[in-house]
Structure 1
Amino acid sequence: MSIKNVVLVGADGNLGPGVLDGLVSTGAFNVTVFKRKSSKSKSNYPEGVQVKLLSDDFPIDELVPALQNQDAIVSTVYGAQVDLQKRLADAAIKAGVKRFIPSDFGSCDSQSKRAMELAPIYVAKSEVRDYLEKLAKENSGFSWTSLVCGHFFDWDLGFFHIDLKAKSFEILDDGEVYWSTSTFAQIGKATAAILQKPEETKNRFAYIQSFRINQNQLLRAFEKTTGESWNVKKYDSSDYVKERKAKADGGEKSAVEDLVWVLGTLEADWEAREGYANDLLGLKQENLEEVVARIIKNN
């Protein structure tokens, strides 16, 4: 199996630009971005990227011809968009697309029962992946890969409960639990590498990271880079989860994000997982202090 022509859906979101750069920088792919006709995103795609405009609901009668001669689809849309991703998969089968990478990226393993209990988005991600597994069993020329990358490290300091201006840092329990996390650039490289090794990555999870750290190490990196001592607040994770789950059940969106923060900080150590793929994909560990310095500079 060889993959040359790749469609990216969701190129203008948080993750999309990093994945697009990862695909384009290899020089190995012809990349097409699918966009809604009504999209007002001010896109500035790299030279050579093709853009195909589709009706806003991405109807299957438009998707099938648009996917002709394409080898792979990468979805970086919001992970809860189940119907859209299923429709993309159905169209992919009809058009002869070989590989689908769903929007399974993110803070924790969407297979986890605890993740599905605490955050509904992981139920949605699992539903999409289960659907892809079913299609792959029924269609020998079709396959999938779920890329699990941990927290998006360079996305939003607030998500990590880090306040750069106030020099405040929140820690769960003793801060010694190790977790995997990835930069957008690393996720882009991993996506491209998966498509360059289609046989080795078919119908499986691929767990990746930029580095494996704990919260205390992260705090020290911020203190060293800023040259200041920070204010630290610690939480008992069990009490914190109970309190935030109650608020999440009441409809508080920020509480759901807090629960995802907990999951990706306490239950996301990929190095011990079957399916850890940094070596397979040729991904090098990044330098924590260098990345922290870049984040501080950009904030």
Structure 2
Amino acid sequence: MVRIVLAGGAGNVGREVLEALLAEGKHEIKVVSRKNVPDLTTQGITVDIVDYLDKKALVDALEGVDTVLSFIVTINDPDNQAQKTLIDACIEARVGRFAPSEWATRSHCEFPAYEGKARVYDHVQEINKERKVLEFTLFQCGVFLNYFSYPHPSARFMQIFPMPIDVENCRAIIRKDTKA
């Protein structure tokens, strides 16, 4: 049985993946979160509350874990220091595999909110430069179409919001000062 930690596993995409893994019933799963998640603990899921900048706390939470999947929200952490600390903790705790919080577009893209993803990718590349220290996988599945279902939720935990795209009428709202 593979021991998996979902960092940020109580959030939107993390929670969807958590539910899918739980339905499989093949893995031992733990969630690492910034906040308490009572509905998970009542289901018998271990939730470790951590500060993602506290490497020692992360190492303790990752002890004996095989794989870490990160769903940490990165927009408010432009340098992605939380994920870098998580990666360093994975190495110290001897975690075998890590997937950073990509879950959308590639690391090196033009979208300013994702600039930090490139720093995380560069960090794992640098760590593995001399020899493989931490196996990693980037899940870059593009924009989730669930976001286009507004106002009709199409996933249980993903929060949807109005998009500047009207799929039904084949229209998009584009700011006047940008290229179409």
Give the TM-score normalised by structure 2. Answer: 0.77
Deviation sequence 1:218-275 (CA, Å, 0-9, x none): 53xxxxxxxxxxx55456xxxx366258xxxxxxxxxxxxxxxx9xxxxxxxxxxxxx
In 2: Cα distance, 1:241 partner to 1:130 partner: 32
* Pair 46,6 (structure 1): closer, same or farther in 2 beyond 3 Å: farther
Secondary structure class of the residue paired with 1:154: helix
Q: Which residue of 2 aligns with 1:33?
A: 31
* Pair 58,68 (structure 1): closer, same or farther in 2 beyond 3 Å: same
Q: Which residue of 2 aligns with 1:43?
A: 39
Deviation sequence 1:53-111 (CA, Å, 0-9, x none): 22x354111111221111111111113330000000001111100111001111x3233
| Match of residue 243, structure 1, among 171, 177, 180 | 177
Q: Could you say which structure has the larger radius of gyration? A: 1
Deviation sequence 1:154-201 (CA, Å, 0-9, x none): 246345435xxxxxx2xxxxxxxxxxxxxxxxxxxxxxxxxxxxxxxx
CA RMSD of aligned residues (A): 2.8
Q: Percent identity of the aligned residues?
A: 30
| Match of residue 72, structure 1, among 48, 67, 86 | 67
In the comparison of the two structures, how many residue pairs are matched?
166
Deviation sequence 1:36-69 (CA, Å, 0-9, x none): 3xx2555336845221222x35411111122111
In 1: Cα distance, 2:130 partner to 2:45 partner: 32
Query: Aligned partner of 2:81: which letter?
Result: D
* Pair 42,120 (structure 1): closer, same or farther in 2 beyond 3 Å: farther
Q: Which residue of 1 aligns with 2:9?
A: 11
Query: Aligned partner of 1:5: which letter?
Result: R
- Judge conservation of contact 1:5–1:30 (CA < 8 Å) in 2: yes
What does residue range 121-200 of structure 1 map to in structure 2 within 5 Å? 121-155=113-147, 157=150, 158-161=161-164, 169=166
Deviation sequence 1:19-41 (CA, Å, 0-9, x none): 111222222211111123xx255
In 1: Cα distance, 2:60 partner to 2:36 partner: 24
The answer for unaligned runs of 5 or more in structure 1 is: 163-168, 170-217, 220-230, 246-261, 263-299
In 2: Cα distance, 1:123 partner to 1:6 partner: 27
